[in-house]
Amino acid sequence: MELPFEERTLPRMLERQAERFGERPLLRFPGGELSYAGARDAAAHCAGTLASAGVGPGDRVAIMCANGGELLDTVLGCAWLGAIAVPLNTALRGAQLEHVLGNSDPRVLVADSALVRRLELVEAPPPPSLERIWVVSGAPEPRWAAVPQDPFPDRGDPADPHPADPHPVRPGDTFAILYTSGTTGPAKGVCCPHAQFYWWGRLTAGHLGVSERDVLYSVLPLFHTNALNTLFQALLTGSTYTVGERFSAAGFWRELRDSGATVTYLLGTMAHILLDRPPSPDDTVHQTRIALSPGTPAAVAARFEERFGVHLIDGYGSTETNLVLCNTIGGHVPGALGRVVEGFEAKVVDDEDVEVPAGVPGELVVRHREPFSFATGYFRLPDETAAAWRNLWFHTGDRVVREADGVFRFLDRRQDAIRRRGENISSWEVEQVLLAHDAVATAAVVPVPSEVGEDEVMAFVVPREGTRPDPVELVRHCEPRLAYFAIPRYVELVPDLPLTENGKVRKQLLRERGVGERTWDREAAGYVVRR
């Protein structure tokens, strides 16, 4: 649905769609449901409650909650009031949590009773701005004694005296501050305007073919762009968004069936994990036709559709950007990021921002034509903002290659690229070869220091259930499929990989771990790779 510029804010969309769809369900979540009209009323009620606690337009409200009604209420209420929601990664602890709270300077913190206990391990005093903590699901306990702590206010009905009128929010006003994973340094708060999420919803729904007949199901956390994007897809199309608590491979297909989902969302290694499970009648007893599944290799996508009957769509976007590339444009291209989505520009550049020819790897840089369809910068970090958006392009930090036909293919994060004997190696490409082995469930490839300078290639491999692949066998599998210099020197079998809450492999931890006593070294074993 294309809306006039002034209506590309969450309050205006809530009002418009509540009038249109009324009691049709918009949101289903653990323990509750909100209709389109109910979501509008919940937003107004929560906004009034926030205002009574002293929160005003532009103030930040931190939210440390698992997927559920309280988190959704708070996000909607902040938008209605003109305040800024700051949903926090529920895995944050200690110094990480201290940094995010200190940087965002929230007026109110909303936290699950189980998660609020983590404040005990935050050594710094509360941010000066923090005036109260609302504790969800359980009696509050003394934490950060200088800050009053109350139970989360109950949701009221339309007659409650608390509901507030919508603030005249503009499309460029900040809807949420979302903190990046901080893999290359302290987490940065990405300032995401209302119009950015309007475009996320409109574009993603369009490429997935979402209509008002659909039920969208996601277990991804609501502190993540992907899950918030799905809220806007539903709101703009008149569909229903069912929010699951968390990803469970054992129960995923049953949950899809029970929710009536026709569209779902995968991330990171989820497709691999689901394929690795033993076949079950639940595999096809569902109505799901399509899934957004970024970063899924072509071979995995084909196996997934054959086994589960679900078509996987890939695309490219980040917290700072939008759906810039999609592999449905100009014909479906499995395993690729795809071509440029209308309204955006993308190119591949070298270290000095000079565009490189087709077929030559470089950094992906992107920009937008529609106002406020990208983030507006990093919160309180002007230097980092200027560096990332230098020369009028946003620098993604991703190494890609653009083919002659305009299709972009992902190679690696720049910090994950490996340099060995003067050759650049894509860890992602090595991982795809390993994943093609029948005994490999998942794998992560990282650089480790070489005795002669530059890097060596190390692979952490999670075997499929009931198997234990021989490292020699894995190297032989790689030889006809990779350049000799890209074949791993080190292989270590591990029970699992460290993951973020978003399902991404925490490669920094693997790099820090490096070569250990259980690591197989092909040079020490005397194995010589054929050139």
CB 61 within 8 A of CB 108: yes
Q: Given 194, 223, 240, which residue is the final one in a domain? A: 194
From 138, 166, 194, the end of a domain falls on 194
Does 318 share its domain with 447? no
Residue 412, beta-bridge partner list: 399
Residues 286-345 have pLDDT tens digits of 999 999 999 888 988 999 999 999 999 999 999 999 999 999 999 999 999 999 999 999
Task: Calculate Rg over the CA atoms of the chain.
Answer: 24
Residue 59 within any structural domain of the chain: yes
Q: In this structure, is residue 527 part of a structural domain?
A: no
**531 band by pLDDT with thresholds 50, 70 and 90:** low
In single-letter form, the type of residue at position 346 comes to: A
Question: Could you tell me which of 9, 34, 12, 14 has the C-alpha nearest to residue 24?
Answer: 34
* Edge-first strand listing for the sheet containing 25-29: 32-35, 25-29, 240-243, 215-218, 263-265, 290-292, 311-313
Q: Is residue 526 part of a domain?
A: no
Q: Please, which residues bridge with residue 438 across strands? A: none
Q: Tell whether 147 and 204 lie within a shared domain.
A: no
In a shared domain, residues 211 and 259? yes
CATH code, domain with 268? 3.40.50.12780
Burial class for 459, CB neighbours closer than 10 Å (0-12, 13-18, 19+): buried
| pLDDT value of residue 161 | 63
User: Same domain, yes or no, for 15 and 155?
Assistant: yes
Whether the per-residue pLDDT at 145 is higher than 70: the answer is: no
Burial of 352: CB neighbours in 10 Å, binned 0-12, 13-18, 19+: exposed
Structure tokens at 291: 């899934």
Q: Percent of the chain having pLDDT more than 70? A: 94
Shared domain for 208 and 310, answered yes or no, is: yes
Residue 211 lies in a domain: yes
Nearest Cα residue to 491 out of 478, 500, 504: 478
pLDDT at 154: 75
Tell me phi and psi for residue 216, to 5 degrees: -100, 130
Measured CA to CA, the distance from residue 237 to residue 515 in angstroms comes to 51
Question: Is 531 domain-assigned?
Answer: no
Identify whether residues 213 and 167 lie together within a single domain: no
- Cβ-contact 108, 82 below 8 angstroms: no
CATH number, domain with residue 511:
3.30.300.30
Q: Which of 530, 528, 527, 490 is nearest to 510 (CA)?
A: 490
Q: Which domain holds residue 432?
A: 418-521
* 305 neighbors 320 (Cβ within 8 angstroms): no
For the chain, give the mean pLDDT. 91
> Which residue among 194, 224, 246 closes a domain?
194
pLDDT per residue over 21-63, tens digit each?
A: 999 999 999 989 999 999 999 999 999 999 999 999 999 999 9
Dist CA 265 CA 212 (whole Å) = 17
Same domain (yes/no): 329, 433: no
Residue 196 near residue 372 (C-beta atoms within 8 A) = yes
Statement to judge: residues 442 and 399 lie in one domain: no
Is 80 exceeded by the pLDDT of residue 503? no
User: What does the pLDDT read at residue 449?
Assistant: 87
Amino acid identity of 297?
A: P
Task: Give yes or no: residues 240 and 365 share one domain.
Answer: yes
For residue 442 the two structure tokens come to 């998942």
Residue 452: predicted pLDDT: 63
Q: Within a domain: residue 498?
A: yes
Pairing of strands 455-463, 440-449: antiparallel
Pair 339, 396 in one domain = yes
The verdict on 66 and 146 lying in the same domain is yes
CATH code of 14's domain: 3.40.50.980
- pTM, 2 dp: 0.84
As given in the structure block, the two tokens for residue 304 are 């997934």
Same domain for 172 and 227, yes or no, is no
What is the domain count for the chain? Answer: 3
Q: Among 446, 472, 443, 471, which residue's Cα sits nearest to residue 457?
A: 446
- 529 in a structural domain: no
The answer to whether residue 146 scores a pLDDT higher than 90 is no
User: What's the rounded Cα separation, in Å, for the pair 176 and 509?
Assistant: 29
248 part of a folded domain: yes
> CA-to-CA distance for 481 and 504, rounded, in angstroms?
25
